[in-house]
Amino acid sequence: MHPLLGRLIVNFVLGLICFIAYSSQIFIIWPWYGSVVSVELLGLLVPFNVLVGMLLWNYFLCVVTDPGQVPSNWEPDVDSDGYEVKKLTGRPRHCRVCNKFKPPRAHHCRQCDRCVLRMDHHCPWINNCVGHFNHGHFIRFLFYVDLACSYHVAMITWRVYSTMGSRYWDEPSGMELVFIILNYVACVPVLLCVGIFSLYHFKGLLQNTTTIEGWEKDKAATMVQRGKIRDVKFPYHLGKRRNIDAVLGSNPLLWCWPTVPPGTGLKYQLSSDDEGSMAVWPPRDPRETSEFQLPASPWTYENGSLNPNLEPNNARLRSSVKPKRSSQNASGTSALPPYHPDYAEAEDGEVVYTSESSSQDSLGAGSFVRRGSEGYEVRPVGREDMLSRYLRELGEEPQRYHRYIPQPLSDSEDDDVPLSQAVKHS
């Protein structure tokens, strides 16, 4: 994503939050209370502004807080427990783009062009990655969006409901009615979309699972259902309470307050079942039987054998097609058909059909076959073979051709003689 586009999205989100939060207070609630400060008005708006303030504070922290990156000289301690390995080699994970080792639960972000510690996902709405050091701020931001939007909808609905009272008709002004509609249109979709998104992340918080790890768990569950692997437990599931402590801190009173997340993001505690033996996560697909190795030479066939001519597999087939037309005048062949007056045979009396073919088998003399996509394909016989076969059917000897010499017209009885007999007796 272009940096300018990311900043525009952040400004759009800020504008939407401020519009929903302050237009409702200025153009709806304030006129409803007669534009006079009162205890009831403060009791209604102060909690709402506290929620909006916490929302904006956590959103600001999500945008400006570095999610965490791998130190330049960091190397995994292979003698201790808790380091992740590659599924195929069993060695510590290494990023080929950053040329650094990957700590546990770290992934490379293409948008940020770096490895992010405990990467959850790249969020375009904050123009930043959600990682180890800002994941807690992101969870609080979603939480306060849900609370503030719910409070806002309830507040506007209360205003609409008050106009339908049985005692008197409190008709809203035109300006107030327009902003009531605009606030509903702006707030309700945000509440629905962010609410569903929040439920997914709150579930991941209780399971100590990031979005990427959620996809890995779904893939592992699919392989278990298909009987490819045995059931593998997620190694970072510590229990619901400890899972929340790992993101929001160990003090429950400060879960809703912006705090620094615990740990360095380079190593994470494992569940009691995996202490002492770190299982490979995500589990390995049994179809991946061996480590992929590059061939010794880049110029190889698909089966790994060396191609000395550095040609594709079908180069011989393509080269056999081109000289077909140019090889018609080769030795033992003639460019003229056998029935042409100027046709001349070869010195040895045989007409040779020269044409390369990719076939390996033959079905009789002069018949070449090759295996195609639909079975064996027989090459059509040459013109000489067709003419020889035709002459044998007529009782003539092959390789001896007669030129037809037209006879002068006459009124004799021989006019009714067939042309074939006339040629035979001539």
In 3D space, the residue among 137, 138, 148 whose CA is nearest the CA of residue 19 turns out to be 148
User: At 355, is the pLDDT very low, low, confident or very high (cuts 50, 70, 90)?
Assistant: very low
DSSP structure class, residue 374: T
Please answer whether residues 252 and 55 qualify as being in contact, where contact means their C-beta atoms are separated by less than 8 angstroms.
no
Q: How far apart are CA 361 and CA 370, in angstroms?
A: 7
pLDDT tens across 115-170, in order?
999 999 999 999 999 999 999 999 999 999 999 999 999 999 998 888 876 555 56
pLDDT of residue 84: 63
Percentage helix, strand, coil, to 5, in the chain? 45, 10, 50
pTM for this prediction: 0.65
Q: Please give the average per-residue pLDDT across 71-92, as a whole number.
A: 69
The pair of structure tokens assigned to 112 is 């940020």
Q: How far apart are CA 236 and CA 279, in angstroms?
A: 11
Q: How far apart are CA 13 and CA 7, in angstroms?
A: 10
Identity of the amino acid at 260:
V
User: At 316, is the pLDDT very low, low, confident or very high (cuts 50, 70, 90)?
Assistant: low
User: At 418, is the pLDDT very low, low, confident or very high (cuts 50, 70, 90)?
Assistant: low
Residue with more model confidence, 126 or 386: 126
pLDDT of residue 235: 87
pLDDT of residue 74: 87
pLDDT of residue 267: 87
Task: Indicate which residue of 62, 112, 123, 149 is catalytic.
Answer: 123
pLDDT of residue 80: 64
Please answer whether residues 333 and 351 qualify as being in contact, where contact means their C-beta atoms are separated by less than 8 angstroms.
yes
Q: How far apart are CA 244 and CA 207, in angstroms?
A: 8
Q: Please give the average per-residue pLDDT across 337-361, as a whole number.
A: 50
Residue 386 has pLDDT above 90, yes or no: no
Residue 261 has pLDDT above 80, yes or no: yes
Query: Which range is least confidently modeled, 27-31, 70-74, 196-200, 303-307?
Result: 303-307
Percent share of the chain, pLDDT over 90: 40
Q: Most distant CA pair in the chain: distance in Å?
A: 138
Residue 230 has pLDDT above 60, yes or no: yes
pLDDT tens across 35-79, in order?
899 999 999 999 999 999 999 999 999 999 999 999 988 888 766
Query: Which range is least confidently modeled, 211-220, 281-290, 305-314?
Result: 305-314
Residues 131, 133, 138, 139, CA torsion sign: positive
- For residue 123, indicate whether it is catalytic: yes
Residue 360 has pLDDT above 60, yes or no: no
